[in-house]
Amino acid sequence: MNFNFANERPADADAIIFAVPKNGLADLQLDLEQGGTVKAGAKAARFDGKLGEVFETFVTESDKILRVVLTGLGKGKAKDAESAGGSAIAKILASGAKHAAVDPSSLDEKILARFLFGAKLRSWRHDKYRTKMPEKQKVTLQNITVLDADLATSKAWTDLSAVADGVALTRELVAEPANAIYPESFVARCEELKELGVEFTVLGWDEMEKLGMGALLGVSQGSERPPRLLAMRWDGTNGEQKTPLALVGKGVTFDTGGISLKPGAGMEEMKWDMGGAGAVAGTMKALAGRKAKAHVVGVCGLVENMPDGKAQRPGDVVTSMNGQTIEVINTDAEGRLVLCDAMHWTQETFKPDVLIDLATLTGAMIIALGNEHAGCFSNDDGLAENLLEAGKDSGDPLWRLPVGPAYDKLINSPIADMKNVGPRGAGSITAAQFLKRFVQDGVKWAHLDIAGMVWADKPSPVWDKGATGYGVRLLNQYVVDQLES
């Protein structure tokens, strides 16, 4: 979608969008020859600017048919503006309209930027493999022109636009099938970030084997696709922030469960088991794209979990990079094996004070929180509170759950330092407790289990069905609040 800025409506615009606050229809100024008729029609349709309401009609302008869209702004808060912008675009994305103008007269600069942010988020679609899509389902909208030329270079818009680009990268990585996105191609897809100034480090099998990453490599050994550890570093502080914030993402590009094979029904969804790594990559693009004054490193542990003759077996014992041994009770509890080595390497290499990992880690998280919140586990109350607040502000919500010694004993093994699963109860908590054993003394750590959030079965105002891009807005907001304020 192309976003353009001008002070006059382009001659080829065939649609125009107005944002209407709740109960603000009477005060709405429509720069249209038939503005009164539009308002009367909206009133007759009981449109009164409530959030989520969209009214569409057609008028004649200079012998040309013009589509008019009124979208409810609700109370006009930032989140409301995002939803209103997304709702308007969802209405006309595949409507036949090709060029929409946005009238900004009822919006100040910051609210207008958030309105357009919602529009840009909602305009993303993944149709590249659909060759026989019905004409009426195809995206027709190609250009959006905002009737405010000054907004084009405002920080309010350019920053949000960069975040939307990061969300789009995450959605693309998550939505692509596993024959398109696997460890090597994930790295290749992210290489565009080098043009934004992001530094890359990539480790292959041999390098990880020398480092002793037996947990991560154990997951990968049954696949023909070789693993990768990808580290992306952005320093927008010119060296002022000596210690980076560390983000670590689980990147299982396809998860069959390994020898502990998953049921066949629904297994195709396991292409999005790399959603944590996808969120990390998208966040790095967002931060670099908006030139964030922050020092951040994003690390992705990338593997494919397959049931080959070389695959690890239930009962195998592997040795992690930090020397702790793990009895693999269930090869489908593989994400924590990938993360523990990636987390240890990140701490050894970058010496962070704060480490946040993201992972589609447990089905138990979906049972507990559904698709409304991701789970947050942390060893530091301040970090947890800051992340929860960033979740509220960004629209990527979190809910905190406990970790502690009472759960630690549930993953003790009789033959190794620990086992990779506990009992049926508290499955998400014992997974977090496992990861906590790999957090070094003094490091503030949070684990975000995002299993229920990276994929949606129904659309929202800011995403269509499918990949949501969850995590990018959250982490970007955290960086704004904690590293740039």
How many Å apart are CA 101 and CA 116, to the nearest integer? 11
291 part of the active site: no
In this structure, what are the phi and psi dihedrals at residue 229, rounded to the nearest 5 degrees? Answer: -115, 115
130 part of the active site: no
How many Å apart are CA 477 and CA 292, to the nearest integer? 11
How many Å apart are CA 360 and CA 188, to the nearest integer? 22
How many Å apart are CA 345 and CA 299, to the nearest integer? 9
CA 185 from centroid of its chain's CA atoms: 19
Q: Which residues pair with 446 in a beta bridge?
A: 356, 378
Token reading at 103: 């009238």
How many Å apart are CA 183 and CA 327, to the nearest integer? 25
How many Å apart are CA 475 and CA 480, to the nearest integer? 9
How many Å apart are CA 153 and CA 149, to the nearest integer? 8
How many Å apart are CA 31 and CA 234, to the nearest integer? 45
How many Å apart are CA 208 and CA 220, to the nearest integer? 12
Q: Which residue, 392, 414, 408, is CA-closest to 478?
A: 392
**Three-state DSSP state, 226:** coil
Active-site pick, 122, 225, 336, 444: 336
Q: Which residues contact 136 (CB under 8 A, 6 or more apart)?
A: 94
Q: Which residue, 42, 35, 146, 173, is CA-closest to 89?
A: 146
CA atoms within 13 A on the CB side of 41: 14
DSSP label of 460: B
**Three-state DSSP state, 412:** coil
Burial of 397 (0-12, 13-18, 19+ CB in 10 A): middle
Q: Which residue, 451, 243, 446, is CA-closest to 350?
A: 243
Token reading at 128: 């590249």
**Beta-carbon count within 10 A of 207 CB:** 13
Q: Which residue, 408, 402, 396, 413, is CA-closest to 473?
A: 396
Active-site pick, 262, 293, 392, 400: 262
- With tokens 């060893």, the residue in question is 379
Asked if 387 contacts 377 with a C-beta cutoff of 8 angstroms, the reply is no
How many Å apart are CA 11 and CA 190, to the nearest integer? 38
Catalytic residue numbers read 262, 336
